[in-house]
Amino acid sequence: MSRPAAGPTVGHKIFYSLGQAAQSGGFDTAVGFLFFYYSVVLGLPGTLVGAALSLGLAFDAGVDPVIGSWSDNIKSRLGRRLPLMILAIPLTAVCVGLLFSPPAGLSKPLLFAWLAVLAIAARSAISLFHVPYVALGAELSDDYAERTSVVVYRSAAGILAGLAITALGFSAFFADGGLQRAEGYPGFGWTAAAIILVCMTTCCIGLRRYAPSLPQPEQIPQPMWRRLPGEVGEIFANRSFRLLFISAVITYVAQGLNATLNSHSFVFVWLLKSESIQFITYAFVVGLLIGVGLAPKIQLRLEKKSVVLIGLSLLIANWLVMQGSWLLGLYMPTGAAALGPMQFNSFVAGIGLGFVSVAYPSMMADAADEHEHLFGRRREGLYFAGLGFANKAAVSVGVLLAGVALDIIRFPEDIGQKVGAALPHDVKVGLVLVWGPFPAIVAVISMVIFWSYRITRARHAEIAAALREKRIAEGEEAAV
C-alpha cells in the first residue's frame, strides 16, 4: 500500500505533534525533576538515585526493539501504530503521578525500590506510545524536505509543552525555594500526568482516520521471539544506521550527564534562587525554538549531517565556556549576577539542541528508506526503536554517572533540609567538572564518529527514485 497522495495536512501535523508534547514536553520535563527531588529533597544517596533512574532507562531501552517490531507487524483497522499508542495512555499517566508521590516515611531501601519500580513502569509505558509514534512520523511522508517539516512540528510542540510544564512547576509548586521542599512535588507530578494524558489522547483522536491509510505491509507469521534477533541484525547491517546509532549513544551520554546535574549546579554553584532557574529554562526554550525553526532553512543550503555537527559544536561551547571560566577563576558570578550569563549560555545550548533534535530523526527516516532499498523491507519501527534505545540507554549511563559522581565528590546528603546552605569549594569544583567539561569531551568523540555518515541529499534522491520504480513495478505485477 502506498502513502496517501495528498500527504499530511497542517492539521494532521498539529495533531501528530501533540504526541511529542506528551513525551519530551510533558514526560521528559517532569521526570527531569526526579533526580533533584530524590537525591536532595528526600535524601536518597546519589548513587542509589542514579541507579534507580538508570534501571528505568535501561529496561526501557531493552523493550524498545520489541515494541518497534511489534508495531511494524500490527495490522488493524486503526493502522499499525495507533493500537499500542492508545494502550499506553492511561498507563503512562498513572505511573508519572505515582513517581512524584512516594509514601511518607519510607526507609532508604524501600524508597529506592519505589523509585526503581515506578521508573521502569513509567519508562516502559511511555515507550509503548513513543516508539510507534516516531515510526508513524516517518510514514507520514517520504519526501526528504517534508520529513524535516514533520519533525519541526513535532519538536515545536514538545518545546512549548516543556515550557508550559516548567512555568507551571516553578510558579505554582516550586516558588520561594520550593525546589528543596517536598510538599510541592506530588501536586506537580499529578498535574503533569493530566497534561500528558490530554496530549496523548488528542494526538490519537486527531490521527484515527489518517493513520489507517498509511502503509501496512504483510504480517510475518513467525513469533516475535524468533524473528526479532534477525531483524535487529538486519538493521545493524546498514552502515548508515550503525553510525547514527553509535553517534547518538555517545551524544546522549553527554547530554544526560549534563542535564541531570543542572539543578544541583544552578542552586549550589551559581547560588540561584529556585524561582530564578525557570528563566534559564525559558532562555533555553527560546534558543530551542530558534534552532528548530532554523534547522530546515539551513538544511536547504547544507546537508543534514552538517546541521548535526553545528548543533553539537554549540552544545560543546555551552559545556565549556562558563564552566571553564569558573574553574580558572576568571569569571565566578553568583546569585542575580549569574542569571544573565546562564541564560545566554542556555540560549546557545538550545539552538544547538534544536539543530540536533530536528536533524537526527529526519536522518533516521532517510536511513530507513535506504534499508528498504538494500534489504527489501521497511523497518521504521525498529529504526526509531534503535534511536530511542540509543537515547535511553545512553541517558541511563549519564544519569548513573551523575549519581556516582555526587557520591565521589562527597555531595552532602542532608543539604536538602538546609535551604541556603553552602557547599565546600572542592565539592563545587568537582560538580562543575562533571557538569561541563566532561560531557564536552564525550560529545567530541560523537562528532568524530559521525563524520563518516554518507547519506546526502543526492544519495537520498537516488534511493527514493529506486523505491518509486520498485513500487510501480510491484503495482503492475499485482494488477496482472
Residue-wise pLDDT for 163-191, tens only, equals 888 888 888 888 776 787 888 899 999 99
Q: Is 344 exposed, middle or buried (0-12, 13-18, 19+ CB in 10 A)?
A: middle
User: What is the separation of C-alpha 415 from the centre of its chain, rounded to a whole number of angstroms?
Assistant: 30
Tell me what pLDDT residue 175 has. 75
Q: Identify the domain containing residue 133 by its residue range.
A: 10-214+224-479
CA dist 430 and 327 (Å) reads 10
CA dist 314 and 324 (Å) reads 15
In a domain, 441, yes or no: yes
Low-confidence spans in the chain with pLDDT less than 50: 1-5
Report the SS3 class of residue 100.
coil
pLDDT digits (tens, 9 = 90+) for 288-341: 889 988 988 898 888 999 999 999 999 999 999 999 999 999 999 999 999 999
Tell me what pLDDT residue 95 has. 93
Tell me what pLDDT residue 25 has. 66
**First-to-final CA distance of the chain:** 16
Tell me what pLDDT residue 417 has. 58
CATH number at residue 392: 1.20.1250.20
Tell me what pLDDT residue 5 has. 43
In this structure, the number of other CB atoms found within 10 A of the CB of residue 297 comes to: 10
Our count of domains for the chain comes to 1
In a domain, 1, yes or no: no
In a domain, 219, yes or no: no
Output phi, psi for 232, to 5 deg: -65, -45
CA dist 139 and 8 (Å) reads 10
What radius of gyration do the chain's Cα atoms show? 22
Cell 502513502 locates to: 3
